[in-house]
Amino acid sequence: MTRYLLLISIGLLAACSKKHTLPSDYVLQKENAGQKLVKFVQVEKDSLKTYATSVAAYGKYFSGVTYFKNTQDTALRVLFTTHTGLKLLDLQLSEEGCSTIYAVEQLQNPVVLKLLCHDFGLISTIKKEVQASQVYTNSAGLDIVVQKGDKDLYYYTNAKNDMIKVIETVPGKRKIQTEAYRESGDSSLVVKHRNFNFKMTLKKLTLD
């Protein structure tokens, strides 16, 4: 019974998903071109960025600390630990994709690992240039970089190519599946799924 209710809920949420429409003041500038793109979490070689991280999903809440480390300039390591220091997850993001270096038993679920790989990959990168399907620009010089593929991605950037917002939709359709944006005066990053109840918030920390 619970399973059916869950399926109905997911179905309803999917049906109710908000549609993404490009703002009318943006004009198509180029197609199939390389485009500089600075994702939310951009880590220079050998440096480390740290975020207090909380996850809210289906009424459950837990938090910890995420570390992003650019290890070889070709790969990014993403570590998630509890506040008390226990490592729960260690991922490697590279051009080849995402691989799990370590996950505690409770996280060793292909669906969960795929979701976490996807979400961390959406906001962090080692590459500064992507192959864009389309680039739209407005009169203020702001860009929307569109990448079409298994999912359609809309990266909203400012004049410095810094990411303001990312929208992920079903290919060809404009129903929003995932979005990532800045919150609370840019101090927090949010990744939110529209087709199921999942929200991850990352707040930048300064280490001693």
Partner 1 sequence: MKTIKIILILVCVFCCIASLKAQTAEKYTLVTNPEEAKQIFDQIRQASNTIDADFVQEKKVDILENVITSKGKFLFKQKNSLRLEYTSPSYYLVVMAAGKMLIKDGDKKTKIDGKGSKMFSQIQNVMAGVLGGQMTDNKDFKYELYKGETNYKVRLFPQTGAIKDLLKEVEFITNKTTLKALSMTMLERSGDVTVMKFKNVKMNTPIDDKVFATH
Residues of the shown chain interacting with partner 1 in the complex, contacts defined by CB under 8 A: 46, 48, 50, 52, 54, 61, 63, 65, 67, 69, 71, 77, 79, 81, 83-87, 90, 102, 104-106, 203, 205-208
Nearer to partner 1, 61 or 129 (CB): 61
Give the nearest distance from C-beta 60 to partner 1 in angstroms: 10
152 vs 27: CA distance, rounded Å: 18
Is 161:155 a contact under the CB 8 Å cutoff? no
42: part of which helix (H) or strand (E)?
strand 41-42
Which of 2, 106 has the CB closer to partner 1?
A: 106
Amino acid, single-letter form, for residue 72 = Q
Rounded to a whole number of angstroms, the minimum distance from the CB of residue 30 to partner 1 is 39
Instruction: Record the tokens describing residue 198, joined without a space.
Output: 């999942």
- 26 vs 198 by CB, closer to partner 1: 198
Least distance between partner 1 and beta carbon 185 (Å): 15
Could you tell me how many residues make up the chain?
208
Contacts of 118 (CB under 8 A, 6+ apart): 98, 178
Please report how close the Cβ of residue 43 comes to partner 1 at its closest, in angstroms. 12
